């Protein structure tokens, strides 16, 4: 059925509206309240401190001429955009929070940055539609846009003031203009625009500079255009795209040159962290490319959509037309790059999601178009099943944003049931995963809350890390349970899951003593992933990728027997 010309934009507008509604739902999760002053996502505080001078001298103030963040672990572009958004909100929409106290100002600034991310995530859905219809067909574009709108990982991280979803927008725009270079009468213009978007992608997230590869493919590949280009013209077009990328990158991240020494220091620090510093939660996770597929992408897309995307990638290799070469020229090198890293956060795969949704949609649309009768109906039912499973996964991923966080509920229980001067046992150093007995626990780094307001009083309650001890405290030290024997012990899934998975002897011994001297835990949990609740050594968990647990980590409270 063909829609009237006036109604033809309606499907993508409905999909974009759905994407925006999902991304704005629960957007206030984990923001400052009466219990905690900082976001439960620790990276958001890093972004906020460096994007505005409201909360630190090294922040940005673009309209006052302060456009260097003095921080280059990430590119500067998203910090600049956040600063502009906060400045506009401050100037034109004072609202209930900007004129309030410190926590209220934090709330508004976090929320502003999150809404910006949600808008950029929604824009990516629209751009993917444009990319799909230009590269393949209208049905492919609409299908790909719908799948990205409900892709669990993209949906979840569109709620956070971080760089991954915004960088993905610039990547998708670069791919769109690289494909447009084939059909645009002015190929040079299209390639320059594509190069600019590639530069903006790199200025947001450095490794997204790889999107310049498909732009170069577009410049150098012999395609049917109004005017056949010779080798010299193609080379010049490629150089023009690369030059545009360099100019756009430096305009968006000028500190690369203006603060070159600091830039090199921060860049190398982040590169070393990603490539060689394996955090506890990534130890024993096997080969990188397989871990990313079976863990991050299975949970980030849902197994049915991921398998369809893999089939779509094989199909694209077999077809290898220009659009296929363009998207694969980014997806394969990027996948290999993140696979080589020792830090294997799921968010690192977000720039791949539009391409995977596109490849899956192209495969299924063309499969249903090439078959007849029962095979066609079977293919349609299979695709409907993929969509339904992905939508259900998105619903489960969204649910924790709409409820009171387990940390807040656990903290309320502690405040109501444990005397204010009673000691509280913790097996590891409190951080963003810990119920906010101090409103500053979720500082960007563990232990940074000590010395801040309320820090000293809370430090004296927490065992073993800041209580009165003769020995240097260590994680999961069972002597605390047998010696000081605090009346309650609090722990998060972030603390016990990976230690038990790795069969760490200290954790196994700690849990054995805990089970003898303390009651079964009181469980504070968010709705669980498809498949229901999981257990490790009898303790409930969700077993999601580390950074997909930010809004739903399980918290346990154990009470001493007797």
Burial bucket for residue 70 (CB in 10 Å: 0-12, 13-18, 19+): middle
Same domain, 376 and 416: no
Domain assignment of residue 222, yes or no: yes
500 Cβ contact list (under 8 Å, min separation 6): 507, 508, 511, 536, 537, 539
Q: How many structural domains comprise the chain?
A: 2
Same domain, 340 and 449: no
Cβ(191)–Cβ(219) under 8 Å? yes
Q: Which residue has the higher pLDDT, 449 or 7?
A: 449
Q: How far is CA 542 from CA 16, 418, 533, 546, in A?
A: 30, 27, 6, 10
Instruction: Give me 276's structure tokens.
Output: 């060689």
Evaluate if residue 187 carries a pLDDT over 50.
yes
Domain assignment of residue 9, yes or no: no
434 Cβ contact list (under 8 Å, min separation 6): 407, 426, 441, 490, 492
Evaluate if residue 226 carries a pLDDT over 60.
no
Q: Which one of 384, 399, 414 terminates a domain?
A: 399
The band of 267, judged by pLDDT with boundaries at 50, 70 and 90, is very high
Crossing angle of helices 505-517 and 493-501, rounded to 10°: 120
Same domain, 448 and 369: no
Lowest mean pLDDT among 117-131, 448-462, 490-504, 526-540: 448-462
Same domain, 364 and 482: no
Residue 467's pLDDT is 44
Instruction: Give me 269's structure tokens.
Output: 């620090």
Q: Which one of 399, 428, 462 terminates a domain?
A: 399
∠ CA 133-137-143, rounded to 5°: 75
Residue 99's pLDDT is 44
Same domain, 376 and 465: no
Phi-psi region of 151 (alpha: psi -120 to 50; beta: other; left: phi over 0): beta
Instruction: Give me 100's structure tokens.
Output: 């309030």
Mean per-residue pLDDT, 369-384: 83
Domain assignment of residue 13, yes or no: no
Domain assignment of residue 548, yes or no: yes
Domain assignment of residue 265, yes or no: no
The residue range of the domain holding 529 is 403-559
Instruction: Give me 442's structure tokens.
Output: 């979720």
Same domain, 380 and 422: no
Residue 202's pLDDT is 98
* 454: three-class secondary structure by DSSP: coil
Same domain, 382 and 410: no
Q: Which residue has the higher pLDDT, 292 or 445?
A: 292
Query: CA nearest 358: which of 317, 392, 334, 324?
Result: 324
Q: Which residue has the higher pLDDT, 452 or 67?
A: 67
Same domain, 47 and 191: yes
pLDDT tens per residue, range 366-376 = 988 877 678 88
Q: Return the CA Rg of the chain.
A: 25
Same domain, 213 and 303: yes
pLDDT tens per residue, range 493-514 = 999 999 999 999 999 999 999 9
What does pLDDT average to over the chain?
89
- Number of residues that make up the chain: 562
Same domain, 152 and 189: yes
Same domain, 393 and 441: no
Cα separation, 76 vs 199, whole angstroms: 12
Lowest mean pLDDT among 4-13, 174-183, 424-433: 4-13
Residue 219's pLDDT is 87
Residue 456's pLDDT is 59
pLDDT tens per residue, range 151-178 = 999 999 999 999 999 999 999 999 999 9
Give the count of beta carbons closer than 10 Å to the beta carbon of residue 94: 12
Instruction: Give me 114's structure tokens.
Output: 């999150």
Cα separation, 436 vs 440, whole angstroms: 7
Residue 7 is inside which H or E element, if any? none
Q: Which one of 381, 399, 417 terminates a domain?
A: 399
Cβ(98)–Cβ(110) under 8 Å? no
Q: How far is CA 304 from CA 6, 209, 399, 456, in A?
A: 35, 30, 21, 50
pLDDT tens per residue, range 19-56 = 999 999 999 999 988 888 899 998 999 999 999 887 77
Residue 234's pLDDT is 82
Same domain, 379 and 451: no
Cβ(41)–Cβ(550) under 8 Å? yes
Lowest mean pLDDT among 103-107, 254-258, 299-303, 497-501: 103-107
Cβ(67)–Cβ(254) under 8 Å? yes
Domain assignment of residue 344, yes or no: yes
Lowest mean pLDDT among 25-39, 222-236, 440-454, 528-542: 222-236
Helix boundaries (H) for 292-446: 298-301, 303-319, 322-339, 353-370, 373-398, 406-417
Query: CA nearest 192: which of 221, 216, 224?
Result: 216
Cβ(326)–Cβ(218) under 8 Å? yes
560 Cβ contact list (under 8 Å, min separation 6): 485, 486, 487, 488, 489, 517, 518, 519
Mean per-residue pLDDT, 92-100: 52
Evaluate if residue 361 carries a pLDDT over 80.
yes
Residue 471's pLDDT is 55
Domain assignment of residue 433, yes or no: yes
């Amino acid at each position: 059925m063909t829609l009237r010309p006036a109604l033809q934009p309606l499907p993508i507008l409905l999909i974009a509206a759905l994407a925006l509604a999902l991304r704005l739902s629960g957007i206030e999760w984990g923001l400052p309240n009466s219990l905690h002053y900082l976001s439960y996502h620790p990276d958001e505080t890093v972004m906020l401190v460096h994007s505005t001078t409201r909360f630190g001298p090294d922040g940005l103030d673009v309209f006052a001429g302060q456009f260097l963040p003095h921080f280059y672990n990430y590119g500067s572009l998203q910090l600049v955009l956040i600063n502009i958004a906060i400045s506009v909100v401050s100037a034109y929409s004072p609202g209930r929070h900007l004129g309030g106290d410190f926590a209220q100002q934090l709330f508004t600034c976090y929320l502003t940055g999150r809404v910006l991310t949600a808008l950029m995530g929604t824009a990516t859905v629209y751009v993917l539609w444009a990319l799909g219809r230009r590269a393949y067909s209208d049905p492919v574009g609409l299908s790909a846009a719908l799948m990205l709108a409900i892709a669990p990982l993209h949906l979840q991280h569109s709620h956070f003031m971080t760089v991954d979803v915004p960088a993905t927008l610039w990547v998708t725009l670069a791919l769109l203009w690289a494909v447009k270079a084939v059909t645009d009468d002015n190929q040079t213009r299209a390639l320059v625009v594509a190069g600019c978007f590639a530069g903006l992608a790199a200025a947001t997230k450095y490794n997204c500079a790889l999107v310049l590869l498909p732009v170069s493919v577009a410049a150098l590949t012999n395609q049917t255009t109004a005017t056949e280009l010779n080798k010299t013209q193609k080379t010049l077009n490629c150089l023009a795209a690369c030059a545009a990328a360099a100019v756009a990158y430096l305009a968006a991240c000028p500190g690369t040159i203006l603060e070159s020494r600091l830039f090199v220091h921060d860049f190398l620090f982040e590169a070393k962290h990603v490539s060689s510093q394996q955090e506890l939660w990534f130890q024993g996770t096997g080969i990188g490319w397989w871990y990313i597929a079976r863990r991050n992408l299975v949970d980030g897309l849902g197994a049915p959509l991921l398998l369809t995307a893999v089939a779509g990638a094989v199909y694209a290799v077999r077809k290898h037309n220009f659009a296929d070469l363009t998207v694969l020229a980014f997806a394969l090198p990027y996948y290999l790059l993140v696979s080589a890293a020792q830090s294997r956060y799921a968010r690192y795969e977000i720039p791949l999601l539009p391409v995977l949704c596109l490849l899956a949609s192209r495969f299924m649309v063309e499969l249903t178009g090439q078959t007849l009768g029962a095979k066609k109906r079977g293919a349609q039912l299979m695709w409907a099943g993929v969509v339904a499973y992905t939508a259900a996964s998105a619903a489960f991923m969204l649910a924790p944003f709409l409820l009171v966080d387990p940390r807040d509920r656990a903290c309320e229980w502690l405040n109501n049931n444990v005397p204010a001067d009673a000691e509280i046992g913790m097996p590891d150093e409190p951080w963003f995963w810990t119920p906010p007995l101090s409103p500053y626990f979720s500082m960007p780094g563990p232990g940074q809350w000590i010395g801040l307001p309320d820090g000293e009083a809370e430090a004296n309650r927490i065992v073993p890390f800041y209580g009165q001890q003769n020995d240097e405290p260590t994680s999961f030290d069972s002597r605390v349970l047998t010696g000081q024997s605090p009346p309650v012990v609090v722990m998060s899934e972030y603390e016990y899951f990976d230690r038990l998975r790795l069969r760490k002897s200290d954790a196994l011994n700690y849990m054995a003593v805990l089970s003898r001297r303390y009651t079964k835990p009181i469980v504070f949990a968010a709705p669980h992933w498809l498949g229901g609740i999981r257990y490790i050594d009898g303790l409930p968990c969700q077993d999601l990728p580390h950074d997909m647990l930010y809004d739903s980590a399980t918290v346990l409270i154990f009470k001493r027997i007797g």
